[in-house]
Amino acid sequence: MKLLKSACIEPMYSEIPFLDRFQAAKDDGFEFVEFWGWTDKDIDAIKAAAEKAGIGISGFNGDADYSLIDPTHKKPYLDFLKQSVAVAKKIGALSVTIHSNALGDGGIVVNHYTELSDTVKLCAMYDTLLECAKIAEESGIAMNLEGLNIISDHVGNYLQTTKMAAEMTRLIGSPKLKILYDVYHMQLNEGNLCNTIQEFIDQIGHVHVADVPGRHEPGTGEINYTKIFSTFEELGYQGRIGYELFPKTTTAQAVKAILSY
């Protein structure tokens, strides 16, 4: 079974203008592209670039300045999410990614919410996710809840483990609300990659890939990606593999490494 590949064209293809990256990714053999935020981009131009290149859009981040774990953010969070869903439908994107905490420039966690108890954070996240699931089902745009590493990139992020994210989406039970399993983040936070993938494969809606340390392409670090990819294949994973990584040297060299698996 062939795993579908999606290039994250914010860190990849940074050598060329953003709108040229759609064609470049297509030429390199990727079936999809994805990116981070949408508010700083020309949506009509993105739609045109993807259509011209004949490449699919896997998704982008659907939240921005608001947090799932802050009960006072529920309404603005959902209002912004609805805007993101409208953008996704306009450009033909298949999904949006959502997070527990608002992220600022460089992925910095804006508010650690140390004043809120775990009870408040969990209940607020569950309550708002119920509404997210409804929006996803009504729109047809899938939503993927992503846990982030707190070791280097996103210190203070609340959602840190696959277990917490997957048990939350299992409780909600929506076919349109799953988790984004980021191999890089989870290697840093919890390890035990293949066992975790097997335990929660029913809740994995999207996958992100990068090696540790450095967040570069597979083969540059400690993660056994041959085993990771074979595990997904053996379990019948039908989703996409998103390469959200910073090339160690050039995008061309990173692509060569990606295609070697």
Q: Length of the chain, please?
A: 261
Give the residue extent of every domain in the chain: 4-259
Q: Output the pTM of the full model.
A: 0.97
The structure tokens 């390469």 sit at: 243
Q: Are 108 and 62 in contact (CB under 8 A)?
A: no
Dump strand ranges (E) for 35-89: 56-61
Token pair of 230 as six digits: 């074979």
Confidence at residue 1, expressed as pLDDT on a 0 to 100 scale? 57
Confidence at residue 112, expressed as pLDDT on a 0 to 100 scale? 96
Confidence at residue 2, expressed as pLDDT on a 0 to 100 scale? 85
Q: Give CATH superfamily name and number for 4-259.
A: Divalent-metal-dependent TIM barrel enzymes (3.20.20.150)
pLDDT means per 10 residues, the chain with 261 residues, are 92 98 98 97 98 98 96 98 98 98 93 97 98 98 98 96 98 98 98 98 98 98 98 97 98 97 93
Coil, strand or helix at 110: coil
